Amino acid sequence: MHAGFAVLAALAIFATGMAGGALALRTGGRGGGHRLLIARLGAPAAAGVFLGAGFIHMLGDAGEGFARVLPQVDFPLAFLLAAVGFVAVLAIERVVFKAATVAEGPSAYILTLVLGLHSLLAGLALGVEDTALVGIAIAIAIVAHKGAAAFALATSFVKAGMARPRAWRLIVTFCCITPLGIFAGRLLGNLLAERPGELVEAVFDSLAAGTFLYIAALDIIQEEFDDRASSHVPAFLALLAGLMLMAVIAIWT
């Protein structure tokens, strides 16, 4: 990833997150129009991009990498590690932190940790991406999803009655996580480029694919299509558009 693009992507993601968090804190979590725009268009489109990035690009690259580095191994390692990544995030979000929320009650802090983990993984995946078109599509998807995530996080702070200065500090911290992940991923990519690191890159692509699929399926699609009171056609078309975008990009990459 080019340094200039990494900086622009980091700034855009940070600004979008801050905008979503600020809207929730200033409206008491009642930003209906903002929520409608992102939920009906941005978030489902981001889910489609995440699905395409995971299935088409990351798993494809990981499979090719394992085939080159370990030609003697006749086992779908890329798919196994993708499943490990998916299940690991599931365990952290729905088992470990869910149990902690029930036992101790600090749901706002638990949500911060969970969303922060997703943000870090997304940033790392974007940072190590060396294909310009795929990187741009992933960055757009992260931007589209970041505002909704920050809005949801800030809304949880409002509902928990958290003091505004503390809520702002947590929002700023959350918004910084993805940019930090981008630069950490870029550093990792540079290190791998200096020596034969195809095996490490294939492992990381596989794990990142699993986390992207989790974010798409359980964090976005499940939430956006759960409301039975409204039509899901616009959201589905937005998701399909994001998925098809990644499929078209695969023609040239």
Of the pLDDT bands very low, low, confident and very high (cuts 50, 70, 90), residue 99 is: low
Contact 133, 253 (CB under 8 A): yes
Q: What are phi and psi of 76, to 5 degrees?
A: -75, 70
pLDDT of 103 over the 60 cut: no
Q: What is the pLDDT of residues 18-56, one digit of tens each?
A: 998 898 888 765 555 444 454 456 778 888 888 998 898
Closest by CA position to 123, among listed 53, 50, 177 = 177
pLDDT of 60 over the 80 cut: yes
Q: What is the pLDDT of residues 134-192, one digit of tens each?
A: 888 888 888 877 887 888 788 878 877 888 898 999 999 999 999 999 998 888 777 76
How far lies 14's CA from each of 90, 150, 154, 165, in Å?
25, 10, 15, 18
Res 194: pLDDT: 55
Stretch 113-133: mean pLDDT? 81
pTM here is 0.73
Give the start-to-end residue ranges of the domains of the chain: 3-252
Residue entry with tokens 């998807």: 141
Burial of 241 (0-12, 13-18, 19+ CB in 10 A): middle
Closest by CA position to 67, among listed 58, 78, 56, 81 = 78
Res 39: pLDDT: 46
What span, in angstroms and rounded, lies between the C-alpha atoms of 110 and 106? Answer: 6
Say which residue, 77 or 36, is predicted with more confidence.
Answer: 77
Q: What is the pLDDT of residues 220-249, one digit of tens each?
A: 888 878 876 677 888 899 899 989 988 888
Res 34: pLDDT: 47
What span, in angstroms and rounded, lies between the C-alpha atoms of 91 and 111? Answer: 14
By residue count, the chain amounts to 253
Stretch 1-28: mean pLDDT? 87
What span, in angstroms and rounded, lies between the C-alpha atoms of 134 and 165? Answer: 37
